Amino acid sequence: MGAQLRVYRGRIRSVKATKKITKAMELIASSRIVKAQQRIEAASPYTNALVRAISAAASNGSTAHPLTHPRGEERVRAAVCFVTADRGMAGGYSSNVIREAEALTNLLKGEGLDVKHYIVGRKGVNFYRFRERPIAGQWTGFTDQPRYEHAQAIAAGLLEALQAPLAEGGVDEIHIVYTLFHNMAQQEVRVRRLIPMEVVEVSYEEAVEREIVLPLYDFEPAAETVLDALLPKYVTNLVWNALLQAAASEHAARRRAMKSATDNAEELIKSLTRQANQARQAEITQEISEIVGGADALASAK
Amino acid sequence: MSLSVSLVSAERKLWSGAATSVIARTAEGEIGILSGHEPVLAILADGGVVRIESEGAGRITAAVHGGFLSVDHDEVILLAEVAELADEIDAARAQAALDRARSEESEAATAAAHRAEARLRAVAGVHH
């Protein structure tokens, strides 16, 4: 076998091995998307009820609560939390989130705020560590299958910053950047302000129409205390929701990236096979012409 | 008239259905809810046990941690960050967790002990 043919065959073998791996990763990711989607749906009754309760408590309490109102006259510092992946092989998933977080950071800095970063996922942490930027908090190792405890840990870190005095690095705003999962084919990077909560003013008629009139609750204990107790739950719930959405998006992004890798491998195998065939054909042609040439030479020598 | 009750944890809906009464422990004390109760939004005590007298499915008992309760128009929603139905609780594991938590002395261990106690109470059906 000719040297060139051997090289082609070797490359075909290696591309085939890679294709097997990418295909397997694609299948794993597709099966996990469904599970992740079900978890998002399973969490929604809690979110709905919590948001309703908070709206009721917030609209009742007349005092300025840190949940709905800025802490001081001036905004000093903001926390930006963003959710990236632990592993690569997911196309632009992590870098899209990082880019959006960078844009948000620049925007906040432009408004004269100091920005602290809280990072979820190894990719984001590595990005910051490589550039030697300070990280206020980091959590890694669970982005593909987050558990509620993880959301609680992240929320605890963010709330600690919210409750700390401004002089000691406390923040008055919390933003979160994550990837929202629309469907298998569509995910979108979303920037959301957690604190202060975005209060939507709705007119009475509109409220009646949309059936969001809140009952006159009797609070136990007082409305402010209830609101205080709901604040950490609210932040934890939003972080939890962001983690679930991000996990589903990560699997979707990985599936897409691995699908195109598999397709590319197939394409490559096809063209390499063609080249190998050509090389084999050329070899045969050469051998025939050598034999014919040799026979000719023998015949003419007689 | 009966109550429509749903017990929801952060991760999933645990139980929902019709019930005649709900008994829970709030930060201020026991609260019992029957049909026609005024709208209430109450914070549940940590490591508490909730008892639902359901229509058709008997008594439902659950351990709830870090939750609250809302009542409005005979619709009762029990929300908890972590909640477990008595049927799903492994008593032996809860006992082990309680023993482990009691042997340590820290804030986290005390909280863990409370949670384990609530689980055991839910299994035993004792409500206090």
Q: How far apart are CA B22 and CA A124, in angstroms?
A: 46
Give the nearest partner residue to A240 out of B10, B42, B66, using CB atoms. B10
Residue A1 DSSP label: -
Q: What is the per-residue pLDDT for B58?
A: 82
Q: How far is CA B91 from the centre of its chain?
A: 16
Does the beta carbon of A107 lie under 8 angstroms from any beta carbon of chain B? no
Q: Do B39 and A46 touch (CB under 8 A)?
A: no
Confidence category of residue A206, pLDDT binned at 50, 70, 90: low
Compare all CA atoms of chain B with the CA of A47 and give the residue at the minimum distance. B10
Q: What is the per-residue pLDDT for B128?
A: 45
Structural domains of chain B ordered from first start: 3-86 (2.60.15.10), 90-124 (no CATH)
Q: Do B6 and A45 touch (CB under 8 A)?
A: yes
Confidence category of residue B44, pLDDT binned at 50, 70, 90: confident
Interaxial angle between packed helices A122-130 and A93-110, expressed in degrees from 0 to 180 and rounded to the nearest 10: 60
Find which of A38, A39, A159, A217 to mutate to test the B interface (most B CBs within 10 Å of its CB). Answer: A217
Give the nearest partner residue to A57 out of B31, B41, B79, using CB atoms. B41
Q: Answer whether residue A122 shows pLDDT above 50.
A: yes
A185 burial via Cβ count (<10 Å: 0-12, 13-18, 19+): exposed
Sign of the torsion formed by the C-alpha atoms of B85, B90, B91 and B97:
negative
Q: Do B10 and A42 touch (CB under 8 A)?
A: no
pLDDT tens digits for A231-272? 888 889 999 999 999 999 999 999 999 999 999 999 999 999
Q: Is the separation of the CB atoms in A112 and A172 below 8 Å?
A: no
Q: Do A49 and B8 touch (CB under 8 A)?
A: yes
Provide the greatest CA pair distance for chain A.
120
Q: How far apart are CA A138 and CA A150, in angstroms?
A: 11
Q: Do B70 and A57 touch (CB under 8 A)?
A: no
Q: What is the per-residue pLDDT for A208?
A: 60
pLDDT tens digits for A169-183? 888 889 999 999 998
Q: Answer whether residue A201 shows pLDDT above 60.
A: no
Choice among A57-66, A100-109, B11-20, B87-96 with the minimum mean pLDDT:
A57-66
In B, which residues are within 8 Å of A219 by CB distance? 40-42
Find which of B33, B72, B79, B84 to mutate to test the A interface (most A CBs within 10 Å of its CB). Answer: B79
Structural domains of chain A ordered from first start: 25-256 (3.40.1380.10)
Q: What is the per-residue pLDDT for A10?
A: 94
In B, which residues are within 8 Å of A225 by CB distance? 27, 43
Does the beta carbon of A46 lie under 8 angstroms from any beta carbon of chain B? yes
